[in-house]
């Protein structure tokens, strides 16, 4: 089992936190091997933000640290989307934040999931800031990349207690999205 997870979005959308939570869940709780890089513009908000994460149950399978062919692709905001089209594997699971993205090309073996993460977050948790965790729930629910309880453990480890319940709620909402 080897996943190449690519997440893109806009600064301020919590892309990096998405990566940290998934990384901790996979590495520490699911005991998988993980390698991840984060990139972001020098300004915190408004520029492109990206996480590349390789997850595998075999250490030997991890070599290059960036995604070459994404098996899981999450778009929180359509930043330079064209740039990524060649980087999506033929049978990728694709997750689109429908709040910002309408059009997306189709390919026969792509499984495309759409949900307005930002709107859902606002409606269910009262803040758009949990949209990243709603999306994480959706990704975990649909791909089974790690077990939900591992993600909950990771959230508990990383997220400050003040925001904990909100994020767990957001995650559960995402988990149950169709």
Partner 1 sequence: MKRVYTHGNRAIAEAALVAGLKFYAGYPITPTSDIMEYLAEKLPEYGGVMMQFEDELASINAIVGASWAGAKAMTATSGPGFSLMAEGLGLAVITETPIVIAYVMRAGPSTGVPTKSTQADIYQARFVSHGDYIIPVLAPWSVQEAFDLTIKAFNIAEYLRTPVILLSDATLAHLWESAVFRDRGEVEIIDRKKPKVPPEKYKPYEPEEDGIAPMAVFGEGYKVLVESLTHDERGFYIQDTMVQRRMVQRIVGKIIKNIDRVFEYETHYMDNARHAIVSYGTSARSSLAVVRDLREKGIDIGMVRLKTIWPIDEGSLRKTLSGVEKIFVVENNMGKLVWDIQRIMHDKEVIPVSIIDLDLPSPNEILEVINEWL
User: How do strand 111-115 and strand 48-56 relate by DSSP bridges?
Assistant: unpaired
Cα distance between residue 73 and residue 110, in whole Å: 10
- Closer CB to partner 1, 6 or 36, in the complex: 36
Restricted to residues 10-39, the positions that interact with partner 1 (CB under 8 A) are: 19-20, 23-24, 26-28, 31-38
Mark 41-70 with x for binding to partner 1 (rule: CB under 8 A) and - for no binding. Answer: ----------------------xxxx-x--
- Closer CB to partner 1, 58 or 111, in the complex: 58
Question: Would you say 167 and 129 are in contact if contact means Cβ atoms under 8 Å apart?
Answer: no
- Closer CB to partner 1, 31 or 161, in the complex: 31
Query: What minimum distance in Å lies between the beta carbon of 62 and partner 1?
Result: 8
The number of CA neighbours under 13 Å toward the Cβ of 40 is 18
Question: Would you say 86 and 71 are in contact if contact means Cβ atoms under 8 Å apart?
Answer: no
CB-based contacts of 26, cutoff 8 Å, min separation 6: 32, 34, 55, 145, 146, 150
- For 72, the enclosing helix (H) or strand (E) is strand 70-75
- Closer CB to partner 1, 23 or 141, in the complex: 23
Query: What minimum distance in Å lies between the beta carbon of 122 and partner 1?
Result: 29
Which residues of this chain interact with partner 1, rule CB under 8 A?
Answer: 19-20, 23-24, 26-28, 31-38, 63-66, 68
């Amino acid at each position: 089992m080897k996943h190449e997870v690519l997440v893109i979005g806009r600064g301020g959308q919590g892309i990096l936190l998405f990566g940290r939570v998934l990384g901790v869940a996979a590495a520490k709780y699911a005991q998988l091997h993980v390698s991840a890089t984060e990139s972001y513009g020098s300004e915190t908000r408004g520029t492109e933000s990206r996480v590349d994460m390789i997850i595998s149950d075999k250490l030997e399978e991890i070599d290059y640290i960036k995604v070459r062919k994404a098996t899981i692709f999450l778009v929180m905001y359509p930043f330079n989307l064209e740039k990524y089209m060649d980087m999506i594997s033929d049978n990728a699971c694709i997750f689109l934040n429908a709040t910002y993205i309408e059009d997306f090309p189709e390919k026969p073996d792509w499984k495309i999931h759409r949900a307005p993460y930002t709107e859902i977050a606002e409606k269910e948790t009262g803040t758009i800031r949990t949209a990243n965790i709603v999306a994480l729930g959706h990704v975990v629910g649909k791909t089974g990349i790690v077990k939900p309880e591992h993600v909950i453990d990771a959230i508990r480890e990383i997220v400050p207690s003040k925001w904990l319940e909100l994020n767990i709620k957001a995650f559960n909402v995402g988990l149950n999205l169709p």
